[in-house]
Amino acid sequence: MNISIIIPCLNESIHIRETLQCLQAMRQRGHEIIVVDGGSLDNTLDIANPLCDELIQCNPGRALQMNTGAGIARNELLWFLHADTQLPSDMDFYLLKTLQQSQKVWGRFDIQLSGRQPSLRLVENLINIRSRLSGIATGDQGIFVKTDPFKQAGGFAEIPLMEDIELSKRLKKRHGRPLCLPQKLLTSSRRWETRGVVRTILLMWKLRLYYALGADPSLLARQYQ
């Protein structure tokens, strides 16, 4: 089984090179890298072009960008990564072996945040534990799903926020709980460092609660921004 690695991005010139360089060994093993840009104004495109197999542009919106990438993917497994995520170059071996043994069709990884603040260790552990208990995956956990089940589920709902949670709920309902891999993806902690750890945690809890109660994702996205 080969993997189509899909990376949505927008003005990610600071992080995209390092992310794509982590994936070059996988690319040499036959997996494809699809970068979907939402209209970057920096030099993201110039950096990404030689380091991926497909570089396409569409209107901005993470869900739309990921669906666009999935629409041209050639392989049996889709793996959605953020543009600021780093991982070991042999992670594909572990992913494919464990997925085959599990008989699951979708899953995610644990994460580690890049910052050194002790409070960030608590944050990442809470994210990983919450995901295991709820069976819900978030985008920074590197969601992977076989292509046919993804298409049968209708792909990501093209909403401005919570598209990862919404897809997780549909996949969980159709195919059961995700495969939760303990190997960690290193993701940028810039969101927590910029806004403050406690403030960001409280904001995300509030947004998730409002979404669960039926709030409009467009309104939630404005609060998030």
pLDDT tens, N- to C-terminus, the chain (225 residues): 999 999 999 999 999 999 999 999 999 999 999 999 999 999 999 999 999 999 999 999 999 999 999 999 999 999 999 999 999 999 999 999 999 999 999 999 999 999 998 989 999 999 999 999 999 999 999 999 999 999 999 999 999 888 999 999 999 999 999 999 999 999 999 888 887 888 887 877 887 777 777 777 777 677 777
Please tell me the distance from the alpha carbon of residue 207 to that of residue 118, in angstroms, as a whole number: 24
Please tell me the distance from the alpha carbon of residue 155 to that of residue 179, in angstroms, as a whole number: 18
Please tell me the distance from the alpha carbon of residue 212 to that of residue 76, in angstroms, as a whole number: 32
pLDDT at 212: 79
- Of the candidates 83, 81, 104, the residue with the CA atom closest to the CA atom of residue 91: 81
Which parts of the chain fold into alpha helices (H)?
Answer: 16-22, 24-28, 44-48, 62-72, 91-102, 118-134, 147-152, 163-175, 190-195, 197-212, 217-224
pLDDT at 144: 98
pLDDT at 219: 74
pLDDT at 222: 77
Please tell me the distance from the alpha carbon of residue 63 to that of residue 200, in angstroms, as a whole number: 22
pLDDT at 203: 79
Beta-carbon contacts of 213 under 8 Å, excluding residues fewer than 6 positions away, are none
The answer to whether the CB of 106 falls within 8 A of the CB of 174 is no
Please list the residues that pair with 79 across neighbouring strands.
5, 144
Beta-carbon contacts of 136 under 8 Å, excluding residues fewer than 6 positions away, are 130, 165, 168, 169, 172
pLDDT at 89: 94
Beta-carbon contacts of 193 under 8 Å, excluding residues fewer than 6 positions away, are 115, 117
CATH classification (class only), 3-192: alpha beta
pLDDT at 136: 95
Query: Which of the 8 DSSP states describes residue 60?
Result: S
Instruction: Tell me the one-letter amino acid at 150.
Output: F
Please tell me the distance from the alpha carbon of residue 77 to that of residue 34, in angstroms, as a whole number: 13
Q: Is 156 helix (H, G, I), strand (E, B) or coil?
A: coil
Please tell me the distance from the alpha carbon of residue 143 to that of residue 108, in angstroms, as a whole number: 5
